[in-house]
Each structure stands twice: as C-alpha cells, then as structure tokens.
C-alpha cells in the first residue's frame, strides 16, 4: 500500500495562512481587553474589597506570632482560595503561591492553614513583612486608611491580580487548542484512548484510527499521538505564539526539533511529526520547520488535518 504524503505548503500558502492566524490573534486580544479583562478586574476588585473589609484595611495583618489563629476575619481569608490569592497581591511586588509556600514553610491548603495555627501565623507574618508601603501607606504610618487611599489601593491591587489571571489564562490556550484538535479528530471518526508511552516499533501505540492525549513518544513528549489508518503514527504539538520572536522558540526550537528527533528515532516511514499552530509566525520560520519534516496545520483550518487523516484510510 502506498502511503499518502502529508501536506506541504508553498511560501504563498504560508503567507496567506499566517496572516489569517495573525488577524484572529489580533481580534482575540482586542476582545480580551474589552471583555475578559474588564470582567476579571471587576471580580478581582470584589475580592480585594472583601479582603480589606475582613482585615480592617490590612491593619490586622501583623508579623507577630499567634495573630491569625485568634482572628476570625483572618481565618476566613486563609480558608477562602480567592481571598488567599488576593492576600498575595498586597505584597510589593505580589508574591507567587510557590514563593509563599517556601517562605512560610507550609502548604496553602485551607485545611492545613485552618488546623495548624503555626502555619497560618507564618503565612500572615510573611505577608505582613512584604506589605507594599506605596499602595498601603497607612500601615507603615500606623493610622487608619482614608477613603480615597483605600479606593486607590484596591483599584491598583485589582489591576495586578486581574492582569496575572489573564496572563495565566493565555498560557492555557495551548491546552484549549488541544481540546479543539481532539474534537476535530473525533469528528473525523477517530477514537480517543488512554495515553501510553510509545516506543519505536509502535507495538504499544494506539491502534489505527485511534489517538491519545499527551504522552511520551520515544524520548520526547507529544501533546497528542494519532495512529493514522495506514499504520503510521502522527505525534502532534499544539503551539500558540504571541510574537514572531516567541514563534522561533515554540516552532523551530521545540516542535521542529522534536520532528527531527522523531524522524531519526522512528524513521520517516513510521511517523508523521506535526504541529497545529495559532498566533504569530514568520513565513521564513514556517519554511524552516517544514524543511525539518514537520507537517504544519493551523487551528483555524483543521479541515486540512481531517482531510489528511481521511486520505490515509484505504477504505474511505
């Protein structure tokens, strides 16, 4: 049986598709500013104001021991994931959850903080030492907050918190893209199976017409592993790039480098390394990746992926 070649694109086709991807990216970011960020900011502002209410404008956050275990307001804060997150943003600069875990030497799980007075005291003490004097000047000056100070501090802190949440959401876009690809694969009649490590020889790979989620493919992980109808495996990387500079890292240094390694490890007759892309890419980098045997598809045109899969089915 002759094997169907994966699609290969001309410079003109790359130009056209990358421009479509760029326009979609621009539209998403503009809508994000007008919609997602505004909604996220409003939500974060509610959390910050609730935090200020429960701590008397942060005046009850003190570095001395045995303060949180006897303070119902602080215990409410420590037991509420959203308020505990807001608490990290009153530090200047905001402290990450991982850093707080290390500095306070405790888990941030609500059960731990509510059951262990020492743990809750260490968390509150760590936050107290880092309170931002620029946003909360009344704390260092030992006085109550004026209304305008409180409002300004709440707004500034909500901006920090909302911005970080939106940035985190952006980093999840590749996972969302994976789900989009999975939906297209199911629509093409492919069956999802449990992830498994795939070694050269493909004895432990999904069966033809099946695919699995993230798993080791040889020496490197693939976001998805598809077993084409003709028996070849198609490891897929899902890549989202927010700049042409970033695209070099995600496309050429990562996906294309994996493609070369997989071809060497599995052989060209056994594997079709692929990537599904969205965001900003340069034509030159796309051509370089394709020259390294990476088959390129676009998140805005998954019909091309589905067409290739159907073309590998001799019974179609």
- Tracing tokens 């091309």 back to the chain, one arrives at 304
Residue 180: CA atoms inside 13 Å, Cβ hemisphere, count? 21
Cβ atoms of residues 244 and 284 within 8 Å: no
Question: pLDDT (tens digit, 0 to 9) for every residue of the chain, 316 residues total?
Answer: 578 999 999 999 999 999 999 999 998 888 776 678 889 999 999 999 999 999 999 999 987 756 566 788 999 999 999 999 999 999 999 999 999 999 999 999 999 999 998 999 999 999 999 999 999 999 999 999 999 999 999 999 999 999 999 888 877 777 889 999 999 999 999 999 999 999 999 999 999 999 999 999 999 999 999 999 999 999 999 999 988 888 898 899 999 999 999 999 999 999 999 999 999 999 999 999 999 999 999 999 999 999 999 999 987 6
* Global model pTM greater than 0.85: no
Which sequence spans correspond to the domains of the chain? 32-170, 172-311
Q: Which two structure tokens, joined as six digits, stand for 295?
A: 């088959």
Rounded Cα gap, residues 294 and 285, in angstroms: 12
Rounded Cα gap, residues 185 and 228, in angstroms: 11
Nearest CA among 276, 277, 274 for reference residue 312: 274
**Going by CATH, does the domain composed of 172-311 fall within 3.40.1350?**
yes
């Amino acid at each position: 049986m002759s094997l169907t070649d994966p699609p290969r694109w001309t410079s003109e086709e790359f130009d056209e598709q990358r421009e479509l991807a760029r326009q979609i990216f621009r539209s998403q970011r503009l809508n994000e500013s007008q919609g997602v960020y505004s909604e996220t900011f409003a939500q974060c502002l509610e959390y910050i104001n609730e935090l200020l209410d429960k701590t008397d404008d942060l005046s009850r956050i003190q570095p001395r021991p045995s303060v949180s275990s006897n303070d119902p307001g602080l215990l409410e804060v420590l037991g509420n994931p959203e308020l505990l997150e807001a608490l990290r943003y009153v530090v200047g600069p905001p402290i990450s959850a991982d850093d707080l875990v290390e500095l306070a030497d405790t888990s941030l799980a609500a059960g731990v903080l509510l059951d262990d007075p020492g743990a809750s005291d260490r968390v509150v003490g760590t936050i107290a030492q880092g309170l931002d004097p620029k946003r909360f000047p009344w704390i260092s000056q030992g006085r109550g907050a004026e209304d305008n100070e409180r409002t300004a501090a709440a707004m500034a802190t909500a901006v920090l918190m909302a911005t970080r949440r939106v940035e985190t959401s952006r980093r999840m876009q590749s996972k969302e893209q994976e789900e989009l690809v999975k939906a297209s694969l199911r629509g093409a009649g492919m069956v999802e199976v449990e992830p498994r490590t795939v070694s050269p020889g493909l004895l432990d790979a999904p069966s033809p017409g099946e695919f699995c989620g993230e798993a080791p493919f040889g020496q490197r992980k693939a976001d998805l592993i598809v077993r084409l109808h003709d028996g070849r495996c198609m490891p897929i990387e899902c890549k989202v790039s927010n700049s042409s500079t970033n695209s070099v890292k995600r496309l050429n240094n990562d996906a294309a480098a994996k493609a070369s390694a997989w071809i060497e490890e599995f052989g060209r007759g056994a594997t079709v390394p692929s990537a599904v892309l969205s965001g900003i890419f340069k034509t030159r980098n796309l051509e370089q990746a394709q020259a390294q045997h990476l088959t390129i598809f676009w998140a805005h045109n998954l019909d091309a992926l589905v067409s290739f899969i159907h073309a590998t089915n001799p019974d179609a």
